[in-house]
Amino acid sequence: MTGGRRRGLALVVEPSGDRRDPKPVVVTESSWSGRVGAADFVGEIQVLGTLRVPKNADYRSGRGKRDLASTLRNSAISAPRQQAKAHRPAASDAQLADLRARMRAHPAHTGQRAPELDRTAERYARLEREVTASAATVRATTSSLAVTFERIVALLGDRGYIDTVDGASELTESGHRLARVYSESDLLVCECIEDGVFDGLDPAGLAAVVSTMVFESRGERGGAVLTGEKVPGAVRSAVRDVADRWTDIVAAEAAHRLEPSREPDVGFVAPLHQWASGGTLAAVLLAAGERGRPLPAGDFVRWCRQVIDLLDQIKQTSFETAPGLATVATAAIAAVRRGVVAESGA
């Protein structure tokens, strides 16, 4: 043992069972016995040899430890000679004086600027850490956005919104329509227009069906199937078609490893149909509420505004390709924008 208080030869009498932090039991030349660890050694641990001891040797008793220590001292095993350390010549007094003078002359040790320099150094170190962390975040985000963008392009290409000609991607007619729809459910809206889901609906029915793409229930009234509500059969059928298109889109998004689009919510279909058909505000708020409590008028106006905004986008994108739908969308906007909704500026 080359370090610690137990310097000298030591006989291992019990190995350690912990390989991560081994601490065997040893008996030293001075008859000391106990566990030793890495702190008791300096440098590499050297095994100098083996020593036969009696089977009944007791390293726990004083006599047994003394007998083992005597056997160790009388063995042919000896500690290796330590090489003398090479001593570097000490610096002369003149060199030390020069180094001290240069250190004291450094700007960090002069005048009243020392505290200011300390604060500047701390700020520099903090900003350096923040910049490094921000750069790592930007790299990760950029890489993630690029991958997501490529997956979206592939999805839109499969569904006919993007066409590749001579290696260049171009928007199709459907793609240009999609580019003019600004909604969380933009792809679903365009698919419904393409497939004629909105065809045959009257203004109140169109407004009610469009509400499934913007409304979000607070409770558990949302879902993809409309049940138990007093709405015309055409509206029910259109809501089911919207749910079917959404299911198809979600499956395609899953195939391209994209997050699923928001699910259509039918919680506002019946109240909005009632409102757009000329119903009273009190009756509509009660129908839109939950657990017997009417929907707050402010929430009702907010949802109507969002429906009007999406109806306007449908109107704008359908003027040339589906003028009949554009006409119905215009009438639907007027049917929703009345009473308290019109007074709010929607």
d(CA 320, CA 326): 9
Strands 25-28 and 168-171 come out as unpaired
At residue 2, the pLDDT reads 72
Cα separation of 5 and 60, whole Å? Answer: 20
- State the Cα–Cα distance between residues 108 and 156, nearest whole angstrom: 62
Distance CA(198)–CA(327), nearest Å, equals 12
Q: Distance of CA 249 to CAs 63, 175, 191, 197, 254, Å?
A: 86, 16, 9, 15, 9
Check if the beta carbon of residue 305 is closer than 8 Å to that of residue 341: yes
Under the banding of pLDDT at 50, 70 and 90, the label for residue 219 is: low
Query: Which of 18-32, 194-208, 219-233 has the highest average model confidence (pLDDT)?
Result: 194-208
- What are all long-range contacts of 171-180, with beta carbons under 8 Å and residues at least 24 apart? 173/321, 177/317, 177/321, 180/313, 180/316, 180/317
Name the pTM for this structure.
Answer: 0.58
Please give the structure tokens belonging to residue 170. 């171009």
Residue 32 has a CB neighbour count (10 Å cut-off) of 15
* pLDDT (0 to 100) of residue 88: 57
Coil, strand, or helix at residue 35? Answer: strand
Total number of residues shown for the chain: 346
Mean pLDDT across the chain: 84
User: What was the pLDDT predicted at 276?
Assistant: 95
* Separation between Cα atoms, residue 114 and residue 120, nearest integer Å: 10
| Percent of the chain at pLDDT exceeding 70 | 88
Confidence of residue 221 (pLDDT cuts 50, 70, 90): very low
118: alpha, beta or left? (left if phi > 0; alpha if psi -120 to 50): alpha
Element (H, E) at 305: helix 297-318
Lowest mean pLDDT among 37-41, 169-173, 237-241: 37-41
**Residue 344: exposed, middle, or buried by beta-carbon count in 10 A (0-12, 13-18, 19+)?**
middle
For residues 307 and 229, what is the distance between their CA atoms, to the nearest angstrom?
Answer: 19
* Mean pLDDT computed over 112-126: 79
Please state the separation of Cα 265 from the chain's center in Å. Answer: 27
List the beta strands (DSSP E) in the chain: 10-14, 25-28, 33-35, 162-165, 168-171
Poorest-pLDDT segment among 198-202, 207-211, 243-247, 340-344: 340-344
CB 252, CB 158: distance < 8 Å = yes
Look at residue 5 in the predicted model and tell me its pLDDT.
67
